[in-house]
């Protein structure tokens, strides 16, 4: 069962019958939801064998591949939508992946935890240690997150890469404040993007 706040946002942005590539698809929960509710033609990519086995039991098409290799087996504009849900921060070269996904897809959907959230900032300030929260429950030494991204960082990178932000949605405990000051009050952010 999916509990992440970005799932409904992503589902709302994917059109019925779209051709979708889900990068870092995990056990396929998002792909299964989109297949059931939107009738998509979906393919998932993940590196973990256990995740892929679980996705296969759901009847999903999945490929075992390290997306860090640049996804050479996919053609430009092959998909309507490419999704990177909660995976960008674990990549070694997120900038290269963003450039590639807007080539492979007519548009892309990216979601990530906002490391600039006020609780993370306060925790670091008061404890002098890397923050641990519900959204980021790992210790500094065992976290899969290797690039700590904020809303401001992501938007700056999109400008540098000449990627257009079509739409942004943020979530947080105080939705009104998260909308006004997302870099401080958003726990996570989701973006629809495309190549200019």
In a domain, 73, yes or no: yes
* Beta-bridge partners for 160: none
Write down the pLDDT at residue 2: 40
User: Over pLDDT 70: what percentage of the chain?
Assistant: 87
User: Would you tell me the crossing angle of helices 6-13 and 29-38 to the nearest 10 degrees?
Assistant: 40
In a domain, 1, yes or no: no
In a domain, 60, yes or no: yes
Neighbours of 144 (CB within 10 A): 8
In a domain, 69, yes or no: yes
The CATH number of the domain holding residue 172 is 3.40.50.150
pLDDT tens-digit readout, 15-58:
999 999 999 999 999 999 999 999 999 999 999 999 999 999 99
In a domain, 42, yes or no: yes
- Classify 161 as helix, strand or coil: coil
The DSSP line for 52-108 is HHHHHHTT--EEE--GGG--TTS-TT-EEEEEEES-GGG-S-HHHHHHHHHHHEEEE
**Tokens linked to 63:** 């490929």
**Tokens linked to 166:** 């079509």
User: pLDDT category, 127, cuts 50, 70, 90?
Assistant: confident
Distance CA 115, CA 105 (A): 27
Q: Give Cβ neighbours of residue 87 (< 8 Å, ≥ 6 apart).
A: 23, 24
Write down the pLDDT at residue 3: 43
In a domain, 31, yes or no: yes
Q: 134 is in which domain, residue-wise? A: 6-195
How many domains, in total, are found in the chain?
1
* pTM as predicted: 0.88
Write down the pLDDT at residue 6: 85
Q: C-alpha 50: how far from its chain's center? A: 20
Rounded-to-10 torsion of CA 29, 2, 143, 131: 160
Q: Half-sphere exposure of residue 66, counting CA atoms within 13 Å on the CB side?
A: 6
Distance CA 29, CA 92 (A): 24
């Amino acid at each position: 069962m999916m509990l992440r706040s970005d799932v409904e946002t992503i589902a709302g942005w994917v059109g019925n019958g779209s051709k979708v590539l889900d990068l870092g698809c995990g056990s396929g929960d998002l792909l299964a939801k989109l297949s059931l509710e939107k009738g998509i033609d979906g393919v998932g990519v993940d590196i973990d064998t256990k995740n892929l086995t679980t996705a296969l039991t759901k009847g999903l098409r999945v490929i075992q591949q390290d997306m860090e290799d640049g996804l050479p087996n996919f053609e430009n504009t092959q998909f309507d939508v490419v999704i990177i849900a909660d995976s960008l921060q674990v990549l070694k070269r997120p900038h290269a992946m963003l450039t590639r996904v807007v080539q492979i897809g007519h548009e892309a959907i990216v979601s990530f935890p906002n490391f600039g959230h006020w609780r993370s900032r306060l925790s670091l300030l008061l404890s002098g240690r890397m923050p641990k929260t519900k959204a980021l429950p790992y210790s500094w030494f065992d976290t899969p997150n290797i690039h700590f991204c904020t809303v401001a960082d992501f938007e700056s990178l999109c400008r540098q890469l000449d990627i257009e932000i079509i739409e942004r949605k943020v979530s947080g405990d105080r939705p009104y404040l998260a909308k006004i000051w997302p870099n401080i009050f958003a726990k996570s952010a989701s973006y629809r993007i495309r190549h200019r």
